[in-house]
Amino acid sequence: MKSKTEDDDNAVRLDKWLWAARFYKTRALAREMIDGGKVHYNGQRGKPSKLMELNAEITLRQGNDAKTIIVLGLTTQRRSAEEAQTLYQETDASIVSREKISAARKMNAMPHPDRRPDKKERRNLIKFKYGDQE
């Protein structure tokens, strides 16, 4: 018969793993992000109760950044950040994409204008800033 810790490590919920891997500060926040469609498990929209597997691909959004990671380890306990980083590996394509988006964001940083934007300019700014969110 397996001990309780072996069973827990083999059957880890998605929301609990995201919390343990330190992507989100609380399990409730992890659950909220999953329910909101910000987390995809193996290319499909995930559920908080989804049981994790090794080598699964998870795509998640944190603010403006989208990360694609591969699961390397399973745990239900939240430990130090160094240990949490051993549970996953971010894909090379994801790193390149995030760096490109970050550089573009820095290049398009707009200086403060001499006057307030008019209605049309405000709408364009809002469309530019929030336009491609899901």
Flag whether the pTM goes above 0.85. Answer: no
d(CA 25, CA 29): 7
pLDDT in tens, 62-81: 887 899 999 999 999 999 99
Buried b (16+ CB within 10 A) or exposed e, 95-132: eeebeeeeeeeeeeeeeeeeeeeeeeeeeeeeeeeeee
pLDDT in tens, 15-56: 999 999 999 999 999 999 999 999 999 999 989 999 999 999
The pair of three-digit structure tokens given for residue 129, joined into one six-digit string: 């800033």
Domains (range + CATH), the chain? 14-106 (3.10.290.10)
